[in-house]
Amino acid sequence: MEQKTCLFINRRSPYGSTHASEALEMAFALSAFEHKVSLVFMDDGVLQLMRDQQTAGIGMKNFSPSFKAWEDYEIQHVYVEQASLETRGMQASELLMDVEIIDAQQLAKVIESHQFIFND
């Protein structure tokens, strides 16, 4: 199978729907099939990377620790859109791991450079 470059654009908050966790599983699966996969978090998607998610109270599994294993899954880059953080009153220090924070112009170039774009 020919290798492709795939970009997952995550725009939804976690837990209100299952889109976020399912998109992540799909991204890891594509990476396991040797495609070059990167992740983008923008709009409410930036919330998926908040640290200290305590989900026992809502009876759902906290899937955020999986993000930290991105290198093990051979994900290429994890990008977060800066403006999305700012309009949500979020700081980089509130995120559960180091990410590449980029502006909209840089994000446009990232999107252009990938063959397949998926969203959550």
Residue 19 binds another protein (CB under 8 A): no
User: What does the alpha-carbon distance between residue 32 and residue 47 come to, in Å, rounded to a whole number?
Assistant: 25
Q: Counting contacts by CB under 8 A, is residue 87 touching another protein?
A: yes
Q: Provide the strand spans (E) within the chain.
A: 5-10, 36-41, 78-81, 100-102, 116-119
CB of 78 to another protein, least distance (A): 17
Q: How many residues at the interface with another protein, by CB under 8 A?
A: 27
For 74, phi and psi rounded to 5 degrees? 60, 35
- Whether 104 and 84 have beta carbons less than 8 Å apart is answered as no
Within 25-64, which residues bind another protein (CB under 8 A)?
43-44, 47, 50-55, 57-58, 60, 62, 64
User: Does position 68 bind another protein by CB under 8 A?
Assistant: no
Place of tokens 């995120």: 95
Closest CB to another protein among residues 30, 41:
41
Q: Report the candidate in 23, 70, 65 with the shortest Cα–Cα distance to residue 42.
A: 23
- What's the closest the beta carbon of residue 25 comes to another protein, in angstroms? 19
Which residues would be at the binding site for another protein (CB under 8 A)? 11-17, 43-44, 47, 50-55, 57-58, 60, 62, 64, 87-90, 94, 96
